[in-house]
Amino acid sequence: MPKAPLPLVLVSLLLGLSSLLAPGCLRQEGGRQVVLRFASAEPNLEQIRVTRALVAEFERQNPDIRVEAEFGIAPRKILVQTAARVGPDIFLWWFDLQPLVNKGVAGDLAPLAAEAGFDWSVFHPYLVDYYRRGDAIHAFPVQLKTYALVYNRDLFDAAGEPYPDGTWTWDRYREVARRLTIKPARGPALQFGNGPFAQFRDYVVRAHGGDWFHRENGRYAPDTPENRRAVSLILALLRESSPRPEDIESFGGGSFSQAFLTGKVAMQIAPAWMMSIFTQSRGNWDVAPAPRPVEGPARVVFDDAGLVLNARTAHPEAAFKFLRFYAEASAMRDFAAGRNGLAARRDANEPFLSPTVPGLARYLDAAEAADTPIKPVLLDGDYNHLSTIVNNEFERLFPLGEIDEDEFFRRLERRLNTPASPIQRR
Amino acid sequence: MKKWSQLLRALPFLAPNLAGFLVFTLGAVVVSFYLSLTEWDLLTPPRFVGLANYASLLGWHRAETGWEPLDPEFWQACYNTLFMMLGIPPTMLGSFLLACALNQKLAGERIFRLVFFLPSIVAGVAVMLLWKWMFNADYGLINRALWTIFGVQGPTWLTSVAWAKPALMLMGFWTAVGGFNMMLYLAALQNVPKELYEAAEIDGAGRWSVLWHITWPMVTPTTFFILTMSIIGGFQSGFDAAYVMTGGGPARSTTTISYFIYNHAYELLNMGYAAAAAWVLFAVVFVFTLLNWRNARGRMQ
């Protein structure tokens, strides 16, 4: 084997060593600057643009802090990175917060806010309460998702139906949805009265005052009158007037919002974030208040997204500075202009309403009246695990049709109280 | 003494690979077994739970309506996996027949071989997305063809509980039939001594007799190898296609054991339970391979 010349070996060694040392040198060079990592699962391009602009403005105002923002990050990646101690300092979170609280990932913002004299009352109070556990507050409200009824005016006009208004009950909704559905004897359906969305089932249950995870005497007891009414309605809507998954795939490319925009769906309960998509379209649509339950009190449902301060961050003060910047009215107005939900700050939502689609104000009305989170807070249960059980059992009911409603509630109660794995039982 | 000195001299050359194997394979296997005895959510330290994960996976309990598994989703995943493995024999048979056809002296035989081999080297996700559109109930190529040619309204393939598994199997057949199995059979066929065929011809054997009494027995070792690898692969497969095309649905009808493991590990952060399921899968694969080995050893002799 020919011998390598000594200078070549030395140069290779030197290059190898310098490649190992270089990252350290660079870090030292930028040592005066705090680098914050911000992660978000947000895939919406407009919202990414808005957030990037906010980050740039924050960096301009705080030259000692640099924010490395990543978007479209899967939530499990954030958790895995955090477990490996390379997690982001701040992240946007619209999933169940409680596991992050239980596992010590979601830092307590209350002491930092108190030190900075931060006024929490700029937000809708129920959003702050949703993140409050005792004296601690575990997330910073950013995005508020309320729900309203979006309808296609052309399809209503063609059928001679009056537009929905604030007097509608779910029974009326079901009737009209049925009338606006056109299914030929064979081949794909031509038109659907009701367009579902990903959380449609949970929304209807919560809007009826129901809760899959209702507890009595320390046990899950989902068989309540509210849940029964909601399940019957959901089944009726899914069977009578909703597109099948293959229909959504065919004409909406798998997207519920796109399915509505094709003009084949007459009505859809739509979360506020869908307005970022709808307002870009030219469809002849408008917004009405969501229907009310026939019996029992009407609940106004909301969903959230908050910024979580990673409890393992090395820069809590700098991170809080960023959160505080996010809460300023100007930043929140920029957020509202993207219409990816309402801004959590009450006084920042005028840009959400323009350009004017008259009914958009229904989302703000719902924000004022909201009282029921779509994801209930489960202090001693894991929402994701338990929701999986609900999903699996509901599938037996629809579309499989293996069980009836009575059996669904019996099975659900049994499985919620005897989940399979140790981690689910905890 | 000589052996020791040889080993010492070989060790530096073996060390990088050995270190990689110990750390990234054997180490991971040992750790995963330990994790299967714990409850671990990644974010908090693992908590030792003994065999509780295995008991939950494999256990049954008496319900009002009779005996029920503690975790019906796991058993459904097992059923789905076994069902999808029914595609192995037709795929093997298809590969064998294709290899026989391509073993003939044909004009452009190399082009045919390339064409049949192509699906197995095209990027998997691209193929799956293509098939997803072909399976579309209303506008897909397959249902259009069924309607135009036979006047039959095709099923809703990927969104039907009854048809989702066969749909994935059909795609799997298309991908695998001309792939490595066919190449292995082709190599095996080219090693069959010509004298046997000549002797059969002199004896007046027909094509079917030659195929059944000469060709098939002579490629038995290859068949055994392909079968063993297919069974191992079959137990571990089903994740990528289901992830891209069906999300494990509808109603978990395409959730295989590997998808079940993924769901628990990365969707529910239920690492201990996922590790236990992985060890159960290993045990099943091991037993099947052992049985297959014993069975085939006798036949090959």
The predicted-structure confidence for B141-150, as pLDDT tens digits, reads as follows: 999 999 999 9
Topology of domain A34-145+302-372, per CATH? D-Maltodextrin-Binding Protein; domain 2 (3.40.190)
Cis-peptide, bond into residue A355, ω within 30° of zero: yes
Q: Is residue B45 domain-shared with residue B90, that is, in the same domain? A: no
d(CA A168, CA A158): 20
Of A353, A424, A361, A414, the residue nearest A387 (C-alpha): A424
B93 lies in the same domain as B51: no
Q: What is the pLDDT of residues B278-300, one digit of tens each?
A: 999 999 999 988 888 887 776 66
User: Mean of the pLDDT values across residues A249-270?
Assistant: 86
User: Do residue B270 and residue A421 have CB atoms under 8 angstroms apart?
Assistant: yes
Q: Is B120 on the interface with A (CB under 8 A)?
A: no
The C-alpha atoms of residue A205 and residue A227 are separated, in whole angstroms, by: 6
pLDDT per residue, tens digit, chain B (301 aa), is 678 888 888 899 999 999 999 999 999 999 999 999 999 988 888 999 999 999 999 998 887 778 888 888 899 999 999 999 999 999 999 999 999 988 888 788 788 888 888 888 888 899 999 999 899 887 889 999 999 999 888 888 988 888 999 999 999 999 988 889 999 999 999 999 989 989 988 988 888 898 888 999 999 989 989 998 999 999 988 899 999 999 898 888 999 999 999 999 988 888 999 999 999 999 999 998 888 888 777 666 5
Return the structure tokens found at A69.
Answer: 């923002």
Contacts (Cβ under 8 Å, ≥6 apart) of B70: A418, A420, B55, B56, B57, B59, B60, B61
* Interchain contact, A244 vs B73, CB within 8 Å: no
CA A1 distance to own-chain centroid: 63
Contacts of A246 in chain B (CB under 8 A): 136-138, 156, 158-159
Which one of B129, B138, B143, B161 would you mutate to disrupt binding with A, by most A Cβ within 10 Å of its Cβ?
Answer: B138
Cβ of residue B159 closer than 8 Å to a chain A Cβ: yes
One domain for residues B99 and B8: no
The segment(s) of chain A belonging to CATH 3.40.190.10 are 34-145+302-372, 146-300+375-425
Q: Judge whether residue A9 has pLDDT over 80.
A: no
d(CA A119, CA A103): 27
Per-residue model confidence (pLDDT) at position A25: 42
B chain contacts of residue A396, beta-carbon cutoff 8 Å: 251
Residues B129 and B273 in one domain: yes
Interchain pair A384, B56: CB under 8 A: no
Tally the domains of chain B.
2
CA distance B39 to chain A (A): 6
- Does residue B104 sit in the same domain as residue B34? no
- Minimum CA–CA partner of B251 in chain A: A395
- E strand or H helix at A66, and its extent? strand A65-70
B156 contacts chain A (CB < 8 A): yes
Q: B254 in contact with A at a CB cutoff of 8 Å?
A: no
To the nearest whole Å, the CA of A358 is away from the closest chain B CA by 36
Q: How many CB pairs under 8 A join A and B?
A: 95
**Which residues of A are less than 8 Å from B264 in CB distance?**
421
Tokens 């129920």 label which residue?
A126
B39, B43, B44: which to substitute to probe chain A, counting the most A Cβ within 10 Å?
B43
pLDDT digits (tens, 9 = 90+) for A134-181: 999 999 999 999 999 999 999 999 999 999 999 999 999 999 999 999
Q: Is the CB of B248 inside 8 Å of chain A's CB atoms?
A: no
B71/A420 CB distance under 8 A? yes
Mean per-residue pLDDT over chain A, rounded: 88
- Contact assignment for B43 to A245 by CB distance below 8 Å: no
> pLDDT, tens digit, for every residue of B84-129?
999 999 999 999 999 998 888 878 878 888 888 888 888 889 999 9
Taking only the tens place, the pLDDT of each residue in A290-336 is 999 998 888 999 999 999 999 999 999 999 999 999 888 888 998 89
Superfamily of domain A146-300+375-425: Periplasmic binding protein-like II (3.40.190.10)
Q: Which two tokens stand for residue A243?
A: 């597109």
Domain identity same for B39 and B146: no
Cβ–Cβ gap A420/B251 under 8 Å: no
Please choose, from the candidates A282, A423, A319, the residue with its C-alpha nearest in 3D space to the C-alpha of residue A91.
Answer: A319
Average pLDDT over residues A200-215: 96
Let me know whether B94 and B228 are in one domain. Answer: yes
Q: Is pLDDT of A29 > 70?
A: no
Given a contact cutoff of 8 angstroms between Cβ atoms, the answer to whether B79 and B69 are in contact is no
Nearest chain B alpha carbon to A397: B251
φ, ψ of residue B204 to 5 degrees: the values are 80, 25
Is the pLDDT confidence value at A88 over 80?
A: yes
Residue from B142, B263, B270 whose CB has the most chain A CBs within 10 Å, to mutate: B270
Average pLDDT on A354-379 reads 90
Residues B80, B36 share a domain? no
Mean pLDDT within A18-39: 62
Query: B105: distance to nearest CA of chain A, Å?
Result: 46
Q: What is the pLDDT of residue A24?
A: 43
Phi-psi label, residue A385: left if phi above 0, alpha if psi -120 to 50, beta otherwise = alpha
Distance from CA of A365 to the nearest CA of B (A): 35
Subunit contact A246:B137, Cβ cutoff 8 A: yes
Which among A105, A244, A421 is the nearest to B53, CB-wise? A421
DSSP character for A383?
A: H
* Rounded mean pLDDT, A373-386: 88
Do the chains contact at A392 and B73, CB–CB below 8 Å? yes
Query: Whole domain around residue B45: which residue ranges?
Result: 2-69
**Which own/partner pairs from B266-269 qualify as long-range (CB within 8 Å, at least 24 positions apart)?**
B266/A76, B266/A80, B267/A76, B267/A384, B268/A384, B268/A385, B268/A388, B268/A423, B269/A76, B269/A79, B269/A99, B269/B41, B269/B42, B269/B43
- Predicted confidence at residue A31, as pLDDT, reads 53
pLDDT score for A26: 41
Can you tell me the distance from the alpha carbon of B169 to that of B80, in angstroms, rounded to the nearest whole number? 11
Which residues in chain A are closer than 8 Å to B138, comparing Cβ atoms? 187-188, 246-247, 250
Closest by CA position to A230, among listed A200, A250, A251, A260: A200
Residues B106 and B246 both lie in one domain:
yes
Pair (B194, B175) in one structural domain: yes
Q: Which residue does chain B place closest to A102, by CA atoms?
A: B44
The last residue of a domain, from among B38, B69, B100: B69
pLDDT tier for residue A23 given thresholds of 50, 70 and 90: very low
Q: Which string of DSSP letters, residue by residue, matches A378-422?
A: -TTS-HHHHHHHHHHHHHHHTTS--S-HHHHHHHHHHHHHS-SSH
Question: Which residue, of B69, B87, B121, is where some domain finishes?
Answer: B69
* Cβ count within 10 A of residue B141: 13
Helix (H, G, I), strand (E, B) or coil at A267: strand
At residue A120, does pLDDT exceed 90? yes
Element (H, E) at A288: strand A285-288
- Same domain, residue pair B43 and B96: no
Indicate the residue of A186, A388, A396 with minimum beta-carbon distance to B268: A388
For the record, the structure tokens of A200 come out as: 């449609």
Among B15, B42, B69, give the residue marking a domain's end.
B69
How many CB atoms neighbour CB B150 within 10 A? Answer: 9
Binary contact (B42, A384; C-beta < 8 A): no
Mutate to test the interface with A, among B13, B41, B62 (most CBs of A within 10 A): B41
User: Helix or strand or coil: residue A108?
Assistant: coil
Residues of chain A with C-beta less than 8 angstroms from the C-beta of B137: 188, 246, 250
Same domain, B76 and B114: yes
CATH number, domain of B123, equals 1.10.3720.10
In the predicted model, is pLDDT for residue A67 greater than 80?
Answer: yes
Pair type for strands A34-39 and A65-70:
parallel
Compare A97 and A32 and report the one with higher pLDDT. Answer: A97
Cα nearest neighbour of B73 on chain A:
A392
Q: Which residues of B touch A190 (CB under 8 A)?
A: none
Tokens 């219409």 found at: A339
